[in-house]
Structure 1
Amino acid sequence: MDVLEGLNLLTTISGKRNKLRVYYLSWLRNKILRNDPEVEKKQGWTTVGEMEGCVHYRVVKYERIKFLVIALRCSVEVYAWAPKPYHKFMAFKSFGDLPHRPLLVELTVEEGQRLKVIYGSGAGFHAIDVDSGNTYDVYVPVHIQSQVTPHAIIFLPETGGLEMLLCYEDEGVYVNTYGRITKDVVLQWGETPTSVAYICSNQIMGWGEKAIEIRSVETGHLDGVFMHKRAQRLKFLCERNDKVGGGAFFMRGGGGPPPGGPPPARDS
C-alpha cells in the first residue's frame, strides 16, 4: 500500500482477482467523516489498466515523474503518471515471456539516466533494461538447491541507483545492477524472516516468528532485537515517515542502539 498525498491517491492490490487499484484520499476520508455529500456521490476508486493477478508493485519517484512497476504472474508492467487532463497512470513499458516468474519488483534510475527493473523470483534476482528489454541474472544463490524466497530489494543511498542489498531466505548480499558483488559481506539473519522492510534511518527490519531484528543497511550488523511474546507471522511490512507497519503491528523505526552496543532483547 502506498499513499501519494500530492496526487490525492492511495494505491493497493485488492479484490479477488488481485487488481491494482487507485483510491482517492478525499473519498476515503469522506467515508469516515461523512461531511461532503458531493464527494460521496463520486466514484471513489479506479483500476490501473486491465491487469489481473498482480503479485507485487512499487511506486518509484524520479525528479517530477512517478513510475509504477508491477509484477504479474508472468510479466512485468511499467506505468508512468500522466498529470491533468489525464490524471492517471498510463502504460509505459511491458515485458512478457520472462525466464523466471516475478515475485518481487523494484525500479531504479542508474546515475539519473538508465531505467532498469530489478525483480526477484524463485531462482534469485534478475534485471530488465527498460530501453532494450534485455534481461539478465543479477544474483542467483547457487548454494540453495530449492526454490528461493526473495524478501526485499533495497537500493543503497549515495550509489546513483547502482548498488543494492538483496535479501532472500535468511541472508542478504550486496551487489550492483550488473551482478557484481560490491561488498565481501553476507547479511545473516538470526532466523529466517517472513517479511523485511527498509527504514528511512538506513536500517532494515526483519520480522521473524520469534523476534524482530533491526540491522544496518550498510553493514548488516545487528542494531537491536525485540522478542515476541508469542510466535507471529506477517504477510508484509511497509514503511512510511520513518515508521514501519504490518498487520496489527506498528512501531517507530530508527532508534538504533544506545552507546555501548545494541539493546538487550525485549518483549514486543
Structure 2
Amino acid sequence: IGLWLLDRSGQGRVYSLISRRRFQQIDVLEGLNVLITISGKKNKLRVYYLSWLRNKILRNDPEMGKKQGWISVGDLEGCVHYKVVKYERIKFLVVALRNSVEVYAWAPKPYHKFMAFKSFHSLYQKPLAVDLTVENGQRLKVIYGSVAGFHAIDVDSGMVYDLYLPTHIQGSIQPHTIIILPNTSGTELLLTYEDEGVYVDIYGHFTKESILQWGETPACVAYLQSNQIMGWGEKAIELRSVEAGNLEGVFMHKKSHKLKFLCERNDKVFFASVQSGSSQIYFMTLGQNTLFNW
C-alpha cells in the first residue's frame, strides 16, 4: 500500500513517495504537472502535483515541502474508474461513481485544476468503465459499461440510451475497455467484455459482422498507442489488432497469473501480478517477444 517511483535511468533505485494509502488507478499528465489518482479507503479522486512529488526525492525546495501537495477533485468519494480525454485544447476528466457519472474540464492558470462541467445522477445501470467521445467534432457523448452491457449519455441533453446489451450471456458481464476507433470522427467504437469485443457506432448499430474473440477471458484489457489491443489472461498475454481483432502476438505464462495493466510508456507496457500479500511489476517491450520483471 503506497506510491513509489522506480528510477530506471540509474541503478534501479526505488523511492517512496506516499505511504499507507491504497491506489486503485493513477495517470501522469506531465504537461499539467499533475498525477491523477483514485486512492484511499473511500476511493477519493485526488490530483497530486508532480513538482511536489519530485521535491520529496530531491528535497531542494524546503518551502514546497511545507505545502499540501494535492487537492481533491470535487470531494468525490466512491470513484470506480476515470478516463482523461483530450479534445483539441481541452482536457476532460470523466469519472464513474457508484450510480453516477461526473465530467470535469481542466481550467488553466490561475485556477490550475479540474472544474465541474456536467453531472449525471441516478443512472439505471451502475457504471464500471467510462469514456468520452466527441461525435463529428460537435456532440459530446459519455460511454460507460455496466454489468448489463454498454450505454451512452448525450452530454447536451442528458439522454441515456443503450449501445449494446449482450443478451446471449446469462447473468452479469464484466466490461473491460471502451475504445473509440481512430479515423472515425469519434463515431465508431470497439466494446470489449468477458472474452469478446463488438464493433458498433455511437448509436448502437453494428459496424462489423465479426467480433473480437479472445483465446481465454482476460482479467484486464488495454488499448495501446500502436493501435493494438492487449489482453492479460491467466495462461497467456494476447496482442490483437484493433481494426479486425486478428491475433498478432501471444506470450504464454510459465505459470498461471492474474495480471493488471498499469500504463504504457514509449514502447513499453507495464503491468502487475495481482496477488494477496505481494505483487510483482513487469514490463514488455513491444515488437519484441520478451518479458522483464522488477
Alpha-carbon shift at residue 242 of structure 1 (Å): 4.2
In structure 2, distance between residues paired with 1:237 and 1:216 = 20
Alpha-carbon shift at residue 17 of structure 1 (Å): 0.4
In structure 2, distance between residues paired with 1:25 and 1:74 = 31
Comparing 230-239 with 141-150, greater Cα deviation is found at 230-239
Alpha-carbon shift at residue 240 of structure 1 (Å): 3.6
1:39 to 2:64 alignment: yes
Q: Which residue of 2 aligns with 1:260?
A: none
In structure 1, distance between residues paired with 2:291 and 2:83 = 32
Unpaired runs of 5+ residues, structure 1, are 257-262
CA displacement, residues 39-63 of structure 1 (integer Å, 9 cap, x when unaligned): 2122111110111000000010111
Q: Pick from 120, 131, 153 the counterpart of residue 145 of structure 2.
A: 120
In structure 1, distance between residues paired with 2:253 and 2:204 = 36
Q: Which residue of 2 aligns with 1:144?
A: 169
Secondary structure at 1:30's aligned position in 2?
A: helix
Q: Which residue of 1 aligns with 2:204?
A: 179
Unpaired runs of 5+ residues, structure 2, are 1-25, 273-280
- In 1, are the aligned partners of 2:55 and 2:65 still within 8 Å (CA)? yes
Alpha-carbon shift at residue 235 of structure 1 (Å): 4.0
Alpha-carbon shift at residue 33 of structure 1 (Å): 2.1
Q: Pick from 53, 57, 60 the counterpart of residue 85 of structure 2.
A: 60
Identity between Structure 1 and Structure 2 (%): 73
Q: Which amino acid aligns with 1:12?
A: T
1:70 to 2:95 alignment: yes
In structure 1, distance between residues paired with 2:131 and 2:171 = 24
Secondary structure at 2:204's aligned position in 1?
A: coil
Number of positions where the alignment pairs a residue of Structure 1 with one of Structure 2:
259
CA displacement, residues 146-201 of structure 1 (integer Å, 9 cap, x when unaligned): 10100000111100011111100000010111000001111110000000011111
Alpha-carbon shift at residue 34 of structure 1 (Å): 2.0
Q: Which residue of 1 aligns with 2:236?
A: 211
Comparing 80-89 with 129-138, greater Cα deviation is found at 80-89
In structure 2, distance between residues paired with 1:249 and 1:50 = 33
Question: Using a 3 Å threshold, how does the CA distance of structure 1 residues 62 and 186 change in structure 2: closer, same or farther?
Answer: same
- In 2, are the aligned partners of 1:118 and 1:127 still within 8 Å (CA)? yes
Q: Which residue of 2 aligns with 1:84?
A: 109
Q: Using CA pairs below 8 Å that are at least 6 residues apart, which structure has the higher relative contact order?
A: 1
TM-score by length of structure 2 reads 0.85
Q: Which residue of 2 aligns with 1:252?
A: 285
Secondary structure at 2:42's aligned position in 1?
A: coil
- In 1, are the aligned partners of 2:282 and 2:291 still within 8 Å (CA)? no
Q: Pick from 229, 239, 244 the counterpart of residue 254 of structure 2.
A: 229
Secondary structure at 1:183's aligned position in 2?
A: coil
- In 2, are the aligned partners of 1:199 and 1:242 still within 8 Å (CA)? no
- In 1, are the aligned partners of 2:228 and 2:240 still within 8 Å (CA)? yes
- In 1, are the aligned partners of 2:232 and 2:260 still within 8 Å (CA)? no
In structure 2, distance between residues paired with 1:39 and 1:88 = 18
In structure 1, distance between residues paired with 2:235 and 2:27 = 28
- In 2, are the aligned partners of 1:170 and 1:192 still within 8 Å (CA)? yes
TM-score by length of structure 1 reads 0.93
Alpha-carbon shift at residue 23 of structure 1 (Å): 0.6
1:132 to 2:157 alignment: yes
Question: Using a 3 Å threshold, how does the CA distance of structure 1 residues 82 and 173 change in structure 2: closer, same or farther?
Answer: same
